[in-house]
Chain A
Amino acid sequence: METTDLIFRIVLIVIIFAISLVVAMYSTYAERKVAAFFQDRIGPNRAGPWGILQPLADGGKMFLKEEIIPTNATPFLFIVGPSLAILTACIGSAVIPWGQAIVIGGHTFDLQVTDINVGILYIFGVVSLGVYGIMIGGWASNNKYSLLGAIRAASQNISYEISMGLSIIALLMLTGTLSLKEIAEQQHGFAWNVWRQPLGFVLFLVCAFAETNRSPFDLPECETELVGGYHTEYSSMKLGFYLFAEYINMFISSAVMATLYWGGYNYPGMDWVAAHVGPTIAPIIGVVVFFGKIFFSIFFFMWVRWTIPRFRYDQLMDLGWKVLIPLAIANIVLTGVITTLLN
């Protein structure tokens, strides 16, 4: 039993890692197709049918390009920057519950790598660590534009982390637990948290855009002002790592959002399905539903990117400090008052 558990867990880690990378890879393709759709173009269609091999071609190009470390850069930190960015992007998936416990050949396995009882805070810590990759890379490049991008990333990350934390507090007042597994279990069927925390979800969504440096909050790499932002000096796969980390972050934050607010692997009528198809197939259907939610959320990220223009920097700070934080505090007070009155 012990060894089968261990083997299952290792297999799960490898699968999740592979899925994260594949989803990130095909997000680059999806982004270009979605952009083309919104701008009434065709998009990439040369590599393979419908351009489906485009990410492989891009990846091959990235790997084969010349590795350049600028003369005035700090070489070690210049390499540490992108490595840290991709590392922090990949470790976030460890606490996400991908599905209900699955029964295979009489054994019950959890579809979650580890269930620590401070799961949300772990995600939070990983997110706050993510900015170091950008900061270190931007500073080590020894370029004014990179440095400005890095500084923008740092202040943006800190500002939006506060309202993100406050919006989660209101959610935790309802769930009473920090474990993502228990939060997912509480939303059985159609009792999703978004019905009870609509304002909290909107706040969390806006902060997730800011934390992943996605448009309209992509000021760290604002090309109209900063050439390429923090990755101006980067080339070849080091640049690829930065871009890749952004897409993995998008995938992980979509998964977290789906788990916290949109019910995770739960869907209406899941008990009926579970009674008819048995305990092996039903969790797999749950996983498919979960991924459906994640993919819609990733599509939403892209939808916003190609619809809303970028903020100016002072507007970004005003939104973070003068709108989102007061709203988040009001949400906490409101949640407290309503739960007290209802009890």
Chain B
Amino acid sequence: MSTFYFIAFLSIFFSILVISAKNPVHSILYLILTFFTFTIHYILMNAQFLAIVNFIVYMGAILVLFLYTLMLINLNKESEPVKPFMVKFAGVFGGGILIVALVASLKSLGVSNPVILKNPDLGLVKNLGKVLFNEFLMPFEVSSVLLLSAMVGAVLLATKDPKTA
């Protein structure tokens, strides 16, 4: 339990650093640490497969690509756009409304007990595979088709149209 609170504190701490860091590369590095704490959360919940997949896919691939893109962009202080006052005001106002809405909705929620698991061995590879390919076969396959279409769409956007080129 105390481990959970410590890791939860670290997750929140690093995610605040992600949005408050001045340098975009530093903020990506904090995001990596945030995802690492998520991996520890999964391990605490005995979801080994999810933990390691989070580790490989998010930390090992997606954030590497984030970092890759940010390193290529020349982010100097001079090129940073100066936003007008009205935009800043609108941002603060919108954020404030979001906080009010979140607090209001959280207040009406019943408090759950996240530490007690209904089926503690569900996260192991064998059990997870059985559940995914029996009970949740249909949504699983549909989501794979969705990912495929997203990939095809990305390739389509990236290739130039031969007529206009």
> Chain A contacts of B32 at CB under 8 A?
132
Chain B positions 48 through 71: 1 when the CB is less than 8 Å from some CB of chain A, otherwise 0: 110011011001110011011001
Interface check A131, CB cutoff 8 A: yes
Q: Is the CB of B64 within 8 A of A132?
A: yes
Partner of A136, one of B29, B55, B124: B29
Q: Is the CB of B71 within 8 A of A151?
A: yes
Chain B interface size, as a band, is 20 to 34
Q: Is the CB of B61 within 8 A of A128?
A: yes
Identity of the chain B residue whose Cβ is nearest the Cβ of A76 in the assembled complex: B26
Partner of B68, one of A121, A122, A151: A151
Q: Is the CB of A131 within 8 A of B125?
A: no
Q: Please measure, in the bound complex, the distance between the C-alpha atom of A218 and the C-alpha atom of B56, giving whole angstroms.
A: 23
Q: Please measure, in the bound complex, the distance between the C-alpha atom of A118 and the C-alpha atom of B129, giving whole angstroms.
A: 13
B28 vs chain A, min Cβ distance (A): 10
Q: Please measure, in the bound complex, the distance between the C-alpha atom of A216 and the C-alpha atom of B67, giving whole angstroms.
A: 25
Identity of the chain B residue whose Cβ is nearest the Cβ of A136 in the assembled complex: B29
Interface check B8, CB cutoff 8 A: no
B120 vs chain A, min Cβ distance (A): 15
> Chain A contacts of B71 at CB under 8 A?
135, 139, 147, 150-151
Q: Is the CB of A154 within 8 A of B72?
A: no
B124 vs chain A, min Cβ distance (A): 7
- Per the 8 Å Cβ criterion, residues 3-57 of B in contact with A are 25, 29, 32, 48-49, 52-53, 55-56
Partner of A118, one of B48, B60, B67: B48
Q: Is the CB of B56 within 8 A of A125?
A: yes
> Chain B contacts of A129 at CB under 8 A?
55, 59-60
> Chain B contacts of A128 at CB under 8 A?
55-56, 59-61, 64
Q: Is the CB of A121 within 8 A of B64?
A: no
Q: Is the CB of A125 within 8 A of B64?
A: no
Interface check A157, CB cutoff 8 A: yes
Known contacts A136-B29, A178-B125; A124/B56 CB under 8 A: yes
Instruction: Using CB atoms and an 8 Å cutoff, list the residues of chain A in contact with chain B.
Output: 77, 116-118, 121-122, 124-125, 127-129, 131-132, 135-136, 139, 147, 150-151, 154-155, 157-158, 161, 178
